[in-house]
Amino acid sequence: MSQYDTGLYQTVGWAVQFALGLTGFAALLHLAAGRRPRWRISLRSLRRHQPPAWWLKMTGSSRDSPALRDRTVLLAGCGIRWPPEAYLAARRTILFLLPLCGAAAFGLGESGTLSQATAGYASLASAGAVCLVLFDRTSLEAFRRYRTDRIRREVVLVSSQLLYYAGSRLHLHGKLMRCLPYTRLMRGEMQLMLNEWYHDPDAAITRFRDRLGTSEAHGFAETVRSLRLNESDEVYNMLREVAKEYKAKIELAKAGRKETLSYVLFVLAGIPILYTFQIFLYPWVMESRKLFDVLNS
C-alpha cells in the first residue's frame, strides 16, 4: 500500500510539473510571437488629453508669443507631436522648481539632515538639469538639422525612383510602395500615407506633410499631389529639378560639416603642443629665470 501511495504521489507530481512547464513554454511562445501594439497607438489616447488651462495660464503659455511660435516650429521640425503649449509650460515649470530643489537640498545639508556630499550632489544635479533645460532650443535645432538632412537624402532617393518609373503604367500608389525600401526615417509616415491613400488621397498627403514638418517634406508632398492629379512630363521635370536642388544642399551641408570638423581637429591638435610646453619647456624657462635672477643679484 505504501509503494502504491508513493508511486501515485510521484505520478501526480510529474503531471503537475509537466503542466506547469507546458504553461510556461506556451506563455514564452505567446510573448515571443504575439504582436504588441505599436507605441504610437498606445500613446494616442495620451496625446488626445489637453493640458489643464489653469496650468497654461499660470505659466503664461496660453497666449501667443514669440517663444511659443519658436517652439512650435522646432517641435514640428523635430517630428515631436507634443502640444507646444504643454512643452513650454513644462519647461517653465521645471525652470521654476529645479532651483528650489537645489536650494532645499543645500539647506538640508547645512542643517545636518542630509550629508554634505549628498546635498552637494543634489545641488550640482539641479544646476546641470537647469542648464540642459535652458539650452533646449540649441538641442532641438541640432536635432532638426540632422532630421532635415536625413529627410532630404531620402527625398532624393524616392524622387530618383519615381523618375525611374516615369514611363511606367503603374499607378502612383504602386510606385510609392516600391519606393518604401529606400526610406528609413520617412518609412513610418510614408506607410501611413499609403494606408490612408484609397480613403482620401489628398488628406493622406496633407497629414504626411504635417507629420514630417519640414520644408523638404512640404515640397515633396506637393510634388506627390501634383503627380496624383497629372503625371505629365512637366511635373517630372519639376521633380528632377527638386532632386538636383536637394543634392546641392546635401553637398553644401557636407562641406560645412567637413569645415567644422577641420576646425575642431585644428584645436585638438594644439592641445599636445600646450602640454609639451608645460611639461618640457616650462621647467627650463623657470630654471633660466632663476639663473638670471642669481646673476643679476
Digit-by-digit pLDDT tens for the chain (297 residues) are 455 455 555 665 666 666 777 677 667 666 655 555 454 444 454 455 677 777 777 777 777 778 888 888 888 888 887 888 888 888 888 888 878 887 777 777 777 776 777 777 777 777 778 788 888 888 888 888 888 888 888 888 888 888 888 877 888 888 888 888 888 888 888 888 888 888 888 898 888 888 888 888 888 888 888 888 887 888 888 888 888 888 888 888 777 777 777 767 767 776 666 666 666 666 776 777 777 777 776
Residue 244 lies in a domain: yes
Indicate if 20 and 66 belong to the same structural domain: no
Greatest Cα-to-Cα distance within the chain, rounded to the nearest angstrom: 116
d(CA 244, CA 187): 22
Indicate if 207 and 149 belong to the same structural domain: yes
Indicate if 26 and 60 belong to the same structural domain: no
Of 165, 172, 203, 173, nearest to 191 (Cα)?
A: 173
Residue 206 lies in a domain: yes
Would you call 63 exposed, middle or buried from its count of C-beta atoms within 10 A (0-12, 13-18, 19+)? exposed
CB neighbour list of residue 140: distance below 8 Å, 6 or more residues apart? 71, 74, 75, 77, 78
Question: Residues 174-193: pLDDT tens digits?
Answer: 888 888 888 888 888 888 88
Indicate if 190 and 246 belong to the same structural domain: yes
200, three cell numbers: 482620401
**Verdict on whether the full-model pTM lies above 0.75:** no
Indicate the residue among 216, 232, 252 that finishes a domain: 252
Indicate the residue among 213, 228, 252 that finishes a domain: 252
Fill in the DSSP letter of residue 78.
T
Indicate the residue among 105, 134, 163 that finishes a domain: 134
260, three cell numbers: 567644422
Return the pLDDT at 10.
63
CB neighbour list of residue 109: distance below 8 Å, 6 or more residues apart? 115, 116, 118, 119, 120, 123
Indicate if 121 and 213 belong to the same structural domain: no
Tally the domains of the chain: 3
Residue 182 lies in a domain: yes
181, three cell numbers: 525600401
- Structural domain harbouring 26: 2-35
CB neighbour list of residue 168: distance below 8 Å, 6 or more residues apart? 175
Indicate if 155 and 246 belong to the same structural domain: yes
